[in-house]
Amino acid sequence: MLAIETATEACSVALLDGDRRLQRLETGARIHAEALLPWIRELLGEGGLAYQDLDGIAVDRGPGGFTSLRLGLGVAQGIGLACDLPVRPVSSLAALAHAARPDGYRGRMLAALDARMGEIYACWFDFGNDRPEAMGQEILCSPGALAPLDGESFLAAGNAFSSYAGELRASLGEALARIDAEARPTALAVADVAPYSASVAAHELEPTYLRDRVAN
């Protein structure tokens, strides 16, 4: 499986083939446009595979940056159409939660990404079944609009906790047990979550933006 993640300022591509888990990941202003296709070719070469050997593609559908999401989805769609491959769109917030999950953790996690314009993308997840199951809808809101679901403790992850640390700590209260503000969605996390996401035909692939106005 080929996996692509371009929802944030980081760009990553992964190739899973049996027990092999190969990944390229880098952060930069133009990295998505410059590195995405070369990395895919590099990983296929490293794995001794051709596009025709792939059995599917997993791609981050968002929410995230408008331009970077379009690039990742466009590449996934192009390969899917050319090679007649199914595509599994994965939530960037589910991938973030999976990437940030401590080993063996089976509680709740709030995944939140900086959406800019003073807002965040957020979703609650539960790991009771050993995978990130959404407890509600992905939302776009101000940091101060979030509140804990109840008194149960939870973990939190994502760069929203770097950008809006004070506001989020104040709104989430004492139930917030731990924050991993450095966690990010990765292509390997997208690949790991993909089996729990429905596959679509490549031409049906659509991004999730959550807002009409865009900020990259």
CA–chain centroid gap for 187, Å, is 8
Q: Per-residue pLDDT for 213 more than 80?
A: no
pLDDT at 50: 97
- What predicted TM-score, i.e. pTM, was given to this entire model? 0.96
Question: What is the tally of structural domains in the chain?
Answer: 2
Do 17 and 69 have their domain in common?
A: yes
pLDDT at 216: 47
Do 11 and 53 have their domain in common?
A: yes
- When pLDDT is averaged across residues 32-57 and rounded to a whole number, the result is 97
pLDDT at 151: 87
Low-confidence winner among 23-27, 146-150, 170-174, 200-204 (lowest mean pLDDT): 146-150
Q: For residue 140, what are the domain limits?
A: 93-180
pLDDT at 79: 98
Do 170 and 196 have their domain in common?
A: no
pLDDT at 55: 96
Do 83 and 122 have their domain in common?
A: no
Residue 163 lies in a domain: yes
Do 171 and 127 have their domain in common?
A: yes
Residue 44 lies in a domain: yes
Starting at the edge strand that comes first in sequence, how are the strands of the sheet with 2-5 ordered?
20-27, 10-17, 2-5, 57-62, 87-91
Calpha distance 47→115 (Å, rounded): 35
Do 53 and 109 have their domain in common?
A: no
Do 54 and 157 have their domain in common?
A: no
Do 53 and 72 have their domain in common?
A: yes
Do 102 and 176 have their domain in common?
A: yes
Q: Per-residue pLDDT for 215 more than 60?
A: no
- When pLDDT is averaged across residues 137-148 and rounded to a whole number, the result is 96
pLDDT tens digits, one per residue of 80-133: 999 999 999 999 999 999 999 999 999 999 999 999 999 999 999 999 999 999
For residue 139, give the CATH number of its domain. Answer: 3.30.420.40
Residue 152: which of 106, 186, 215 has the closest Cα? 106
pLDDT tens digits, one per residue of 153-208: 999 999 999 999 999 999 999 999 999 999 999 999 999 999 999 999 999 999 99
